[in-house]
Structure formats: structure tokens, C-alpha cells
Structure 1
Amino acid sequence: MQHGIHPAYRPVVFRDRVGGLTFLTRSTATADRTVEWADGTTRPVVDVEVSSASHPFYTGNARVLDTAGRVERYHRRYGRGDGAGH
């Protein structure tokens, strides 16, 4: 790895604005704001819109599509499509 051409890889706090989850990880992301972490150190903080705390897939709030109902509604509206020309 060449010196001087890569961004700094350091501990960064990511904070979910909706779910309230905060986690510390290493990243090259830059941030203008800082937050005091649980160990007393000041870390840069990056606010994110979606994380595992607020994403519908992970929280179980995902909408389930009723594909069987859609298919039946299509057949009622446009026919079975069996080639008979109805």
C-alpha cells in the first residue's frame, strides 16, 4: 500500500436517525460532528437514514404482497389467457 494516497481508516460512530441505534466501527467516512462514546473518547459521528434498527426487512414491518390475489384479479379482468380468444 502506498503511503499518502489512501484516506484515513479510523473508528467512526454511525447513528441511525430513525431507529436510535448507534454503533462504532472503522471506516473512511468523514464527519463534521463528533459524539462522546461510552468509553469517554470523542469520535466522529455519521448520521444514516436506514440501518438494521429501522429497515422494514430487519424490523419485521415489511409489507407482504398478495400475489395470488393480484393474479386472480388479473384473470377476472382480462380473462385466463389460455389462447381461446375470450
Structure 2
Amino acid sequence: MKPGIHPDYHPVVFRDRSADVSFLTRSTRTSEATIQWEDGTTYPVIDVEVSSASHPFYTGNSRVVDTAGRVEKFRRRYGKKDAS
């Protein structure tokens, strides 16, 4: 590898709040928030909405997602115009 052209690759904790699961991995992502891991070391933490612990494909459970706002926005933008 050429020195000085690659981003910093370091340990980071990803936390899925909906499933209350955290996992330690390596990433180039950073965060100001930190968490103390099971080994006593403090790592940056990144909160995610969906992980393999909460995704319906992996869990087999369906989850209700609020899409009403997106549907209404679509209808306002692309819906039929009044022919007045």
C-alpha cells in the first residue's frame, strides 16, 4: 500500500437502537460519540437504524414502516391535476 493515500481505518462500535444490539468492527467512519466496550476500551459509536439483528430478511419478522409521508409527497408531486 502507498503511504499517505488511504483513510484512517480503526475500530468502531455500530449500535442498532431498535434491536438494542451493538457490534465492534473496523471502519473508516468516525463519530464524536463514544461508548465503553466490554473490554473496557472506549470506542467511537455510530447509531444505525437497521442491522442484521433488526432487518426483516434476517429475523423473519415484518416491521411496520411509516410511509404515509412519502406517499402523500408522491401524490402531491405526481398526482392528477384538476381540469378546472
Same fold (TM over 0.5): yes
Give every structure 1 segment of 4 or more consecutive aligned residues whose post-TM-superposition deviation is greater than 4 Å: none
In structure 2, distance between residues paired with 1:39 and 1:49:
25
In structure 2, distance between residues paired with 1:5 and 1:46:
24
In structure 1, distance between residues paired with 2:33 and 2:59:
28
Q: Percent identity?
A: 70
In structure 2, distance between residues paired with 1:30 and 1:37:
16
Q: Which runs of 5+ in 1 are unaligned?
A: 64-86
Q: What is the RMSD of the two structures over their aligned residues, measured on CA atoms?
A: 1.4
Q: 1:56: Cα distance to partner? A: 0.7
The alignment of Structure 1 onto Structure 2 pairs a total of residues equal to: 63
The match for 1:51 is 51
TM-score by length of 2: 0.69
In structure 2, distance between residues paired with 1:37 and 1:60:
29
The match for 1:34 is 34
In structure 2, distance between residues paired with 1:21 and 1:58:
14
In structure 1, distance between residues paired with 2:32 and 2:3:
24
Q: Which has the larger radius of gyration?
A: 1
Q: Which runs of 5+ in 2 are unaligned?
A: 64-84
Amino acid in structure 2 at the alignment position of 1:10: H
The match for 2:80 is none
